[in-house]
């Protein structure tokens, strides 16, 4: 109990310390921490200038973790990501020169601008927590989390992400503009040169691992477990749940990984609220983030202006707890 109390206080301190540098992105920080503590990866979408990079960089300092930002471009090569073999003239042997993927937190900026071979190398790192250089596999340091950004405005020169890779992201988080008060506070901070504030480290790797273990012990009732499964199946067989319009529009429902992600994320959200059990509200709060990038709509939905958000809203309305 004493350990839990200390860790809960440290999580509150992480939010507080990060908030000294980043204004108005509490939800984004919350989702990034959920991903980190449960071993998931996060896909971020938002226009430039919303402090995505600053948030992740600040979080890395507060968590005392290694951080690398990789700008994805059409000419990026797999070796630029994972590293390569170089010849050492003194020893006469080839040696491994590790790439920027060897860090705890990776920001893959504009991930959809890189070609397929680079995406394949990133997918191996995300899925296996390892990379292959030459003929050898190299384990990545733990914790390891990829946070990838997509720019929804400039789509020219982009490559669609493979569905298998998109599914590897635990959540897709839409980062929106700040409200007026938060934007005013941000302007004041920058104007007062508080940009130079260096955040203090709050958690270390051992404590991050301990929080992950505590999250695993959070209980979730069988009724809520079945609720998660019903939500998943409602995206695959919408007609059986009275979602006749959605049955016309959904090409593919969510994968089994969606249920696992929602299950783990709900437990983490309960832990952040200092509960040892999951509530229905935890699940409902996370469904959009977990499902929105996994539901694939057909061309008819696009023509009719239907969005995945509307589909998920209707699923939540139709699927009852204890169904």
DSSP letters of 256-291?
HHHHHHHHHHHHHHHHHTT-SB--HHHHHHHHHHHH
Q: What is the pLDDT of residues 51-63, one digit of tens each?
A: 788 888 889 999 9
**Local structure of residue 242 (DSSP, 8 states):** T
Q: Return the structure tokens found at 184.
A: 């005013």
pLDDT of residue 308: 93
pLDDT of residue 251: 92
pLDDT of residue 154: 54
Q: Which CATH fold would you assign to the domain 219-318? A: Helicase, Ruva Protein; domain 3 (1.10.8)
Q: Which residues of the chain register pLDDT less than 70?
A: 1, 49-50, 151-159, 190-196, 323
Q: Which CATH fold would you assign to the domain 2-210? A: Rossmann fold (3.40.50)
Q: What is the pTM of this model?
A: 0.91
Positions of CATH 1.10.8.80 in the chain: 219-318
Query: Which residues are 41's β-sheet partners?
Result: 169
pLDDT of residue 195: 57
Q: What is the pLDDT of residues 167-185, one digit of tens each?
A: 999 999 988 777 788 778 7
pLDDT of residue 171: 96
pLDDT of residue 254: 96
Positions of CATH 3.40.50.300 in the chain: 2-210
pLDDT of residue 284: 97
Cβ-in-10-Å burial (0-12, 13-18, 19+) of 123 comes to middle
Q: Tokens 């539901």 sit at which residue?
A: 295
pLDDT of residue 42: 95
Residue 305 Cα distances to 13, 36, 48, 155, 166, angstroms: 42, 34, 25, 19, 22
Q: Where are the beta strands (DSSP E) in the chain?
A: 41-45, 67-71, 83-88, 93-98, 105-109, 130-133, 136-139, 145-150, 169-174, 250-252, 296-297
User: In what helix (H) or strand (E) does residue 119 lie, and over which residues does it extend?
Assistant: helix 116-128
């Amino acid at each position: 109990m004493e350990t839990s109390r200390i860790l809960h206080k440290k999580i509150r301190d992480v939010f507080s310390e990060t908030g000294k540098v980043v204004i108005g992105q509490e939800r984004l920080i919350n989702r990034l921490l959920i991903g980190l503590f449960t071993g998931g990866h996060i896909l971020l979408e938002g226009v430039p200038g919303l402090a995505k990079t600053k948030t992740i960089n600040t979080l890395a300092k507060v968590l005392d973790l290694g951080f690398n930002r990789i700008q994805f471009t059409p000419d990026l090569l797999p070796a630029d990501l994972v590293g390569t073999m170089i010849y050492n003239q003194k020893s006469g042997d080839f040696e491994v020169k590790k790439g920027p993927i060897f860090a705890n937190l990776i920001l893959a900026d504009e991930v959809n601008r890189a070609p397929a071979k680079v995406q394949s190398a990133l997918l191996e790192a995300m899925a296996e927590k390892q990379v292959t250089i030459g003929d050898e596999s190299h384990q990545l340091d733990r914790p390891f989390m990829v946070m990838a950004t997509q720019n929804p405005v400039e789509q020219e020169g982009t490559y669609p992400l493979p569905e298998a890779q998109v599914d590897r992201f635990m959540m897709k988080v839409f980062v929106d503009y700040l409200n007026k008060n938060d934007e005013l506070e941000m302007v004041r901070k920058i104007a007062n040169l508080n940009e130079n504030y260096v955040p203090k480290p709050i958690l270390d790797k051992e404590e991050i691992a301990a929080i992950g273990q505590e999250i695993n012990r959070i209980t979730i009732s069988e009724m809520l477990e079945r609720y998660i499964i019903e939500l998943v199946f409602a995206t695959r067989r919408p007609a059986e749940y009275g979602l006749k319009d959605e049955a016309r529009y959904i090409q593919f429902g969510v994968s089994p990984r969606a249920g696992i992600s929602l299950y783990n994320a709900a437990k983490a959200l309960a832990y952040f609220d200092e509960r040892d059990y999951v509530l229905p509200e935890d699940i409902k709060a996370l469904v959009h983030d977990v499902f929105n990038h996994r539901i694939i709509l057909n061309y008819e939905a696009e023509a009719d202006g239907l969005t995945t958000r509307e589909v998920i809203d209707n699923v939540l309305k139709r699927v009852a707890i204890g169904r």
